[in-house]
Amino acid sequence: MLKIMGFPGEYIQGAHALRKIGDIAIRYQFKKIGIIYDQAIEGPILSKATDSLNKANIDFISYKFPGECTYETIEHLSHTMEKHSIDSIIALGGGKAMDTTKGISKKLNIPIIICPTVASSDAPTSRLIIVYDDYHKVQAVEKTKRNPDIVLVDLNTIVQAPARFFAAGIGDAISKMFEVNQCKNANGLNSFSTPPLETALLLANNTYSNLISWGKMAYEDVKQHNITSSVEKVVESTVLLSGIGFESGGLSLAHALIRGLTAIPELATNLHGELVAFGTVVQAVLENREHIFINELISFLKSIDLPTAIAELGYHQEISDSMLETIIMHTLQNDYSKNFEPPLSKESLKQAIIKTNHYR
């Protein structure tokens, strides 16, 4: 049976990396570049990229991301970019701006440079595009033809963002050791519709050990806006290792639980990585991990201000049976929930959520 892994064409990480984007454009012989950027980075961050392109005499046009990755937005911006005859495109911003730019790249069949401005998830390296409707609900998951041509991570930009986003990136990444191994054990498939290669498991396992070793220190450094060796190691783990690991390894309960948790309006406002952090504890409980292991996991997550109980996700009322039913129903409807051994049941999931919420 075939087994497939996907990698970005290049991964570039370092201080003031955006200042090199003009050199990259020259090296790739890009002639006219389109830029999709988040409103939040309008100013010095955007200027760092455009100044580099100007210095390299690269022609470009830029458009502010309107705020939601919808089919209509992708269609409109693709048409606009096509009129200007761009031959490549840059995403400069968060997850939805990146996904919209991936959609444009797919539609126009042009190379893409992903420049995340926060390290809040491992989306930058992947082919996945999460498309929403006008009511901010997930409408579909699309895929580009290949992984991004270039992923460029400017550490100065990352450490200037609120530390909550950095912690959320750790929350999203720390689940991968659990999920990729469960996917393999349950004979599940990765996003390339094949079983995972051992390399994917290696990356996922290494992500966990790196985060446990360096995550707390890096989080404290980011709160002071400092680039340190700990920050470099954690960013590499949350963006690159976790990104390749999840896409080529497969996902399981921690991400399936996102669908269940976001079905509760009071929980849906949390960051993706915050929800995954809680889901990781639930998965560890369901895997019957040793008490000391789960306590160490919870202690680590708490040390970087990530939630490990539903109350910490903002729901301070007693958990009702109807709330649990809603969470469980939506979770088990998600295909990732099938990547679990032994197979999940409504009762086992219910008991794990209850136990997690009162774990000591």
Helix axes 163-174, 272-286, angle to 10 degrees: 30
Residue 7 is classified by DSSP as -
User: Measuring CA to CA, how many Å separate 117 from each of 62, 307, 309?
Assistant: 16, 23, 29
| DSSP secondary structure of 290-355 | -HHHHHHHHHHHHHTT---SGGGGT--SPPPHHHHHHHHHHHHHSGGGGS-SSPP-HHHHHHHHHH
User: Are residues 239 and 125 in contact, defined by beta-carbon separation less than 8 angstroms?
Assistant: yes
Instruction: Kindly report the number of other CB atoms within 10 A of residue 299's CB atom.
Output: 11
The CA R_g of the chain, rounded to the nearest whole Å, is 20
CATH dotted code for 163-358: 1.20.1090.10
Give the DSSP H or E segment for 206.
helix 198-223
**pTM for this model (two decimals):** 0.96
C-alpha 259: how far from chain center? 15
Compute the half-sphere exposure of residue 79: CA atoms within 13 Å on the CB side of its CA: 5
Instruction: Kindly report the number of other CB atoms within 10 A of residue 85's CB atom.
Output: 11
Residue 58 is classified by DSSP as -
281 is written with which tokens?
């504890």
Q: How does strand 128-132 pair with strand 138-143?
A: antiparallel
> What's the CA gap between 331 and 334, in Å, rounded?
5
Residue 241 is classified by DSSP as I
pLDDT at residue number 21:
98
For the chain, how far is it from start to end, CA to CA, in angstroms? 44
User: Are residues 151 and 10 in contact, defined by beta-carbon separation less than 8 angstroms?
Assistant: yes
Residues of the chain with CATH 1.20.1090.10: 163-358
Instruction: Kindly report the number of other CB atoms within 10 A of residue 216's CB atom.
Output: 17
Instruction: Kindly report the number of other CB atoms within 10 A of residue 293's CB atom.
Output: 11
Where residue 250 falls (left for φ over 0; alpha for ψ -120 to 50; beta otherwise) is left
> What's the CA gap between 52 and 38, in Å, rounded?
18
> What's the CA gap between 237 and 225, in Å, rounded?
19
- Partnered with residue 64 across adjacent β-strands are 37
pLDDT at residue number 229:
98
Q: What string of pLDDT tens digits covers the 360 residues of the chain?
A: 899 999 999 999 999 999 999 999 999 999 999 999 999 898 999 999 999 999 999 999 999 999 999 999 999 999 999 999 999 999 999 999 999 999 999 999 999 999 999 999 999 999 999 998 887 777 888 999 999 999 999 999 999 999 999 999 999 999 999 999 999 999 999 999 999 999 999 999 999 999 999 999 999 999 999 999 999 999 999 999 999 999 999 999 999 999 999 999 999 999 999 999 999 999 999 999 999 999 999 999 999 999 999 999 998 888 899 999 999 999 999 999 999 999 999 999 999 999 998 876
The residues, ordered by sequence, that sit 6+ positions from 332 with a Cβ below 8 Å of its Cβ are 256, 344, 346, 349
> What's the CA gap between 242 and 24, in Å, rounded?
25
Beta strands in the chain (DSSP E): 10-14, 32-37, 59-64, 88-93, 112-116, 128-132, 138-143, 150-154
81 is written with which tokens?
């970019």
> What's the CA gap between 82 and 337, in Å, rounded?
40
10-159 fold: Rossmann fold (3.40.50)
Residues of the chain with CATH 3.40.50.1970: 10-159
pLDDT at residue number 360:
65
345 is written with which tokens?
């049941």
